[in-house]
């Protein structure tokens, strides 16, 4: 079984599993079995683990990391919806894009816009999305722990995503230095985006807010994956990337 088959197999098992502890373990194992970890920092806090590998291999690892983050975000959103959101409000998932905190970001919102932007802005768009979600996902860990009946599967998945976002940020930052030979933004620029979430609400309102957060993150995680795959396509077939 090759790496891509392993990811597909693990995700299929996860989708069919109602109790997600074993599912989360399979996803962790899939990362290990691929041999493509994205833990850039060594024991001293240096990011030499990513800087020492080639640009192409690093981009492959970043893409695989983004794929897994998106798939686990899908599972988390579905699990939360099934557990806590009344069926009449499930349409909120489709309307959630209008309430997402990243809606005002200067990133491509359509296929035509996506095709027109440079590789540089593709990478910086991914980094902006990652950094904008680090603090909200930490917040989500705190608020889910206040739910009386939040399943371990949901807590484990959101914790996994929160941890892996930090690894993805490190990988993309190194990729920017390798491909563009320039520095990167810092996540401090996006702390204001958390203000709308850092407010205590009654449980029904809290559920809807957290549902919106999960829905928005899933949308943005898909954008991260798409932008990175388009970047990879441009490296190998610059004129054949119009499907993105």
pLDDT per position as a tens digit, 157-187: 999 999 999 999 999 999 998 888 766 555 4
pLDDT for 21 equals: 37
pLDDT for 76 equals: 96
For 63, phi then psi, to 5°, come to -65, -45
- Kindly report the pTM of this predicted structure: 0.76
For 102, phi then psi, to 5°, come to -90, 5
pLDDT bucket at 112, cuts 50 / 70 / 90 = confident
pLDDT for 18 equals: 33
Across 100-110, average pLDDT: 82
Residue 228 in this model has a pLDDT that exceeds 70:
yes
pLDDT for 42 equals: 57
Specify the residue for token string 């079984």.
Answer: 1
Specify the residue for token string 């993150």.
Answer: 217
The mean predicted confidence, pLDDT, of the chain is: 76
CB within 8 Å of 165: residues ≥ 6 apart: 69, 130, 133, 134, 137
Which residue, among 49, 23, 44, has the nearest Cα to 157 in the 3D structure? 23
pLDDT per position as a tens digit, 4-37: 434 333 333 333 333 333 333 334 334 343 344 5
Across 39-66, average pLDDT: 78
pLDDT bucket at 78, cuts 50 / 70 / 90 = very high
Question: Quick check: 62 and 40 in contact, CB under 8 A?
Answer: no
Sign of CA dihedral 93, 166, 171, 183: positive
Residue 110: CB atoms within 10 Å: 8
Find the radius of gyration of the CA atoms of the chain.
18
């Amino acid at each position: 079984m090759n790496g891509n088959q392993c990811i597909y197999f693990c995700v299929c098992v996860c989708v069919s599993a109602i109790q997600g502890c074993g599912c989360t373990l399979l996803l962790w194992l899939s990362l290990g079995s691929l041999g493509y970890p994205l833990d850039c920092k060594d024991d001293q806090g240096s990011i030499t683990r990513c800087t020492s590998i080639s640009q192409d291999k690093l981009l492959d690892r970043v893409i695989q990391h983004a794929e897994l983050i998106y798939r686990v975000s899908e599972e988390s959103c579905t699990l939360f919806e099934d557990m806590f959101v009344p069926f009449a409000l499930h349409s909120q998932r489709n309307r959630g894009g209008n309430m997402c905190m990243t809606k005002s970001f200067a990133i491509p919102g359509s296929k035509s816009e996506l095709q027109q932007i440079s590789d540089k802005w593709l990478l910086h768009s991914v980094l902006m999305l990652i950094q904008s979600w680090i603090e909200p996902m930490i917040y989500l860990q705190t608020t889910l722990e206040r739910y009386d009946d939040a399943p371990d599967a949901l807590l484990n998945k959101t914790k996994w995503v929160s941890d892996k976002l930090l690894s993805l940020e490190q990988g993309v930052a190194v990729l920017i230095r390798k491909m563009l030979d320039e520095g990167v933004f810092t996540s401090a620029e996006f702390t204001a985006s958390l203000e709308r979430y850092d407010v205590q609400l009654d449980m029904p309102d809290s559920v809807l807010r957290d549902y919106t957060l999960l829905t928005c993150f899933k949308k943005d995680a898909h954008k991260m994956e798409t932008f990175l795959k388009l970047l990879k396509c441009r490296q190998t077939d610059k004129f054949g990337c119009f499907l993105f």
